[in-house]
Amino acid sequence: MELRLLRYFVAVAEERHFGRAAARLHMTQPPLSRAIRQLENDLGVVLLLRSAAGVEPTAAGTTLYAEARTLLDQAERARARVIETAGPATLTVGTLADGAGEAGTHLAAAFRRRHPEVSIRFREADFTDPTTGLRAGLADVALTRSPFDETGLTVRVLRSDPVGLVLRTGDPLADRATLRLADVADRPWFQLPEGTDSLWREYWNGATPVGERPSGPVVRTVGECLQAVLWNGSAGIAPLGHALPDGLTWVPLADMPPSPLVVAWVTERENPLIRSFARIAADGV
């Protein structure tokens, strides 16, 4: 029996409801239901009685619940002993340059309370790699923004922020309540470096094919984008919440979909510390 399946079963048995258990586990209900069916098939017994009101453990399920709690507690104690023996743990968090503070100071405080023994390192990446070095092993977990190629990654959305146009404060469009991409179709549009993730490039280009807008400067960070607007009057877009320097303002774009702030990691490298970081991020953002 996999510990993962036992954790899922314990959550369902304690919540008495697949939906509540799925929310507790930060997953959707269908894969949770499939996992419990797999566990029942592996054991050859029915563990849960399903009804419209929820679920109730069978006699076999009650026995497994007690045994599973014991096994999971033992596994946690073993993990703690191994970590203690190995010395202080380190978690490398990848972020996009200028974006380390997007999740807020509460995440740092909550993580320190839960894992005071863990040292956190940050790695800032530029726009060429919105996954911040996850696949290359340069980061253990990423706080970043989608969309990007999610092959081999686990991605959890923390929140979605409106996207707006960044303008000089004296710009004729700066006093508008909302804008549309067509309002700045004739302005130089910042360019992303060659080799940038194609999904990321398409999103931040306003879903307009490259070359169909006047070309602005190549930018690799939010800071470079803002300076391009300030100095050159280029068209720049950014999610709500980025601090703007004096002389710039932000106007919502009605036809840009929201920008998801996500936590992501390489699925096959998942470990308890990464899961804990993701849970803390999801609970507080």
CATH number for the domain whose boundaries are 3-86? 1.10.10.10
Residues 15-26 have pLDDT tens digits of 999 989 988 887
CATH number for the domain whose boundaries are 163-257? 3.40.190.10
Provide the Cα torsion 88, 95, 163, 210; round to 10°: -160
CB 216 within 8 A of CB 228: yes
Q: Out of 101-115, 172-186, 217-231, which region has the weakest mean confidence (pLDDT)?
A: 101-115
Tell me, what amino acid is at 257? P
Q: What is the residue-averaged pLDDT of the chain?
A: 86
Structure tokens at 98: 């200028």
User: What is the band of 184 on the pLDDT scale with cuts at 50, 70, 90?
Assistant: confident
Structure tokens at 136: 């290359």
Report the pLDDT value the prediction gives residue 173, as an integer from 0 to 100: 92
**CA–CA distance, 229 with 214 (Å, rounded to integer):** 14
CB 160 within 8 A of CB 259: yes
Percent of residues in the chain assigned helix, strand, coil, to nearest 5: 40, 25, 35
Provide the percentage of residues in the chain whose pLDDT is more than 70: 91
- In the three-class reduction of DSSP (H, G, I as helix; E, B as strand; rest coil), residue 261 is classed as strand
Domain boundaries, the chain: 3-86, 90-142+266-284, 163-257
This prediction has a pTM of: 0.66
Is it the case that residue 154 has pLDDT exceeding 90? yes
